A and B are shown apart, each in its own frame.
Chain A
Amino acid sequence: MSAVRPNWQALAALVTGLISLAGLPFTATMGTGASLLVTAIVLVAAILSMLKLRPVAQAIILAVASHFAAWLLIGGLADAFGTAGFGYFAALAASWLLAWRLVTVLSEMKFIAPVAKRTIALIVPAIFGIWILILWEALTRGAGVPFVLLPPPSSIGARIVTSTNILAADFVQTVVKAVLVGYIIGTFSGFLVAVMADRFRFLAAGLLPVGNMVAALPMIGIAPIMVIWFGFDWQSKAAVVVVMTFFPMLVNTLAGLAATGHMERDLMRTYGAGHWQVLAKLRLPVAMPFIFNALKINSTLALIGAIVAEFFGTPVVGMGFRISTEVGRMNLDMVWAEIALAAVVGSLFYGLLALAERIVTFWHPSYR
């Protein structure tokens, strides 16, 4: 047995690292020494990672080397916007390959302790996310991508830090007022109407086609009308959200209420259970996975609806308002800051619902 165990990421990192030697120095402000240091780190780490070391040792070497190299590379861009040569990108690619190897090593590690498993399950996507930001930063600034086209994450981050007041006000206006109020009214009324339509069949027969039609209406058409009806402030945006979230909840709840098996319904009949008893003890629990489906779909629909509805008239606050005006003023970092905020809010909203779903429908075959 040889002491070397080659892998393609390390080999590729070795090759790209050597290539980067032909493009010294990497940027206008990065000296040859600093450039050579990056290459040396990458080459040493690539060779070390091919030795038969313990996975933990490999992971530590790869993590330190790839991120230190990336840190040096990004640091080398200070006052050197758009001056990176091909050596720079070769070194960047080499350190990215090392990070790829790191993720591979981490994913192949086998742990028995649940804490270790959960930590790895968090670290792997975190490394993914960090490297998206690293590559984004290094590519936009290294290659000199125009700010309007795609600002680097560092300036978006700086904008977030300096504009917390504006972002907080926009968050309250759009999310706390329009999304939350609209979401609660829309989903709750959709649920109630579904329960009623299930009890009185004529309601279902009459309502479903109308609901279908309303759901098919373009939001672009509804939003200005809602502004005329409910005014410029958040109420009109909440109304758009109500219209958007009502129908998915109605349809999903109706489907869920119809999902009960014959045997279970016969069982309740042998007990002489009334309609509302069957609903509470059998049909609603069975419908819960469907209802949570609608809640999750609606969480994204509500955010989209409220933001886009603000394009059609609004007071001078709100995430949609900010996006549309800052685009006009070429302040793309502010637009991206709002997008980042929306992404975080949307993910949290969805994540909370998914968590609640796990708790409520613990018995469902997909969770137990």
Chain B
Amino acid sequence: MSTLPVISAKNLDLVFQTGDGSVHALSDITLDIEKGEFVSLIGPSGCGKTTLLRVIADLEKPTSGEISVNGTTPEKARLDGAYGYVFQQAALFPWRTIAKNVALPLEIMGLPAEERTSRIKRNLDLVNLTGFEKKFPWQLSGGMQQRASIARALAVEPDMLLMDEPFGALDEIVRDHLNAELLKLWATTQKTIVFVTHSIPEAVYLSTKIVVMSPRPGRIHEIIDCDLGADRPLDIRETPEFLKIAHQVRDGLREGHSYDE
């Protein structure tokens, strides 16, 4: 294929200087992500998966190495609204209604009121929150809040979604449900999604590619293709193909994890 990768990192290094010495958060990261892929970053805490996502989002600057997002620098991509970022918590503003929360990035972009209204409607519809426009975030359940925050990320109409353990704080039943919804969303919107998680079933269920990372220093241990096809009902998780890939990921995590501490 001749198309350029949407995200391309080459020999990325990131060292945090803290009060008591330096922390090698990312070491020699080289990774290409193609348009329309669903890539999961998985690994134990401290492996740098969130840091890598933050570097892509231009929330951290790498110490050395090269990275391009949408064929340009992460900073330019950020200012162009190339991605929508979903955090571990919904981070909705409690003084704004759900509709107003979705409108927040649109106000900052300076979109006219009509355009804002139609985007709010469309994206709340996409995450099944129609009818909750006038509610305040604290009147909604945790799962609904996180869906609202996904609608807010989508309202920017980015090419990419960067998601940092978005369902980590939710219980498993809600999580399963949102995973299925996210897959549907991915199928309808054709967006590139980079997804940070520490759940093996979640990574295998969602991804086309799984990046297994290991800590101290944070690095990529293995990249596993996950070709389960586009149609993935929830019970695919019982099939031998699914379990095989899950096993592969678990092995990768085990090899990458040093137990010498």
A267 on the B face (CB < 8 A): yes
A108 on the B face (CB < 8 A): no
Whether A266 and B108, one on each chain, are in contact in the complex, defined by CB atoms closer than 8 angstroms, is: no
Chain A residues with CB below 8 A from B156, complex form: 271
Chain A residues with CB below 8 A from B79, complex form: 272
Residue of A nearest to B162 (CB): A270
Binary flags per residue of B44-71, CB closer than 8 Å to A gives 1, else 0: 0000000000000101000000000000
- Please pick, from A263, A271, A364, A368, the residue contacting B108 in the complex, using a CB distance under 8 A: A271
Q: B71-112: which have CB < 8 Å to A?
A: 78-79, 81, 83-85, 87-89, 91, 93-95, 104-105, 107-109
A277 on the B face (CB < 8 A): yes
Number of A interface residues in the complex (CB < 8 A): 21
CA distance A264 to B59 in the complex (A): 12
A264 with B85: in contact, given A270-B78, A271-B156, A281-B104 (CB under 8 Å)? no
Whether A267 and B108, one on each chain, are in contact in the complex, defined by CB atoms closer than 8 angstroms, is: no
User: Interface centre among B57, B84, B105, by most A CB within 10 Å?
Assistant: B105
Binary flags per residue of A266-295, CB closer than 8 Å to B gives 1, else 0: 111111110001000110010000000000
Chain B residues with CB below 8 A from A277, complex form: 108
Residue of A nearest to B107 (CB): A281
B136 on the A face (CB < 8 A): yes
Chain B residues with CB below 8 A from A272, complex form: 78-79, 81, 108
A-B contact count (CB 8 A): 52
Chain A residues with CB below 8 A from B88, complex form: 263
A8 on the B face (CB < 8 A): no
CA distance A270 to B156 in the complex (A): 11
B138 on the A face (CB < 8 A): yes
Whether B108 and A281, one on each chain, are in contact in the complex, defined by CB atoms closer than 8 angstroms, is: yes
Residue of B nearest to A272 (CB): B79
Chain A residues with CB below 8 A from B81, complex form: 271-272
A263 with B59: in contact, given A271-B156, A272-B108, A363-B136 (CB under 8 Å)? no
Chain A interface (Cβ < 8 Å from any Cβ of B): 261, 263-264, 266-273, 277, 281-282, 285, 361-365, 368
Give 7 closest A-B pairs by Cβ, nearest first.
A363-B94, A363-B95, A272-B79, A270-B85, A263-B91, A271-B105, A271-B108
Q: Beyond A282-B93, A285-B93, A365-B138, list 4 extra A-B contacts (CB 8 Å).
A: A261-B91, A271-B81, A271-B109, A285-B95
A-B contact pairs, 12 of them (CB 8 A): A261-B91, A263-B88, A266-B59, A269-B59, A271-B108, A271-B156, A272-B79, A273-B108, A281-B104, A281-B108, A282-B93, A285-B95
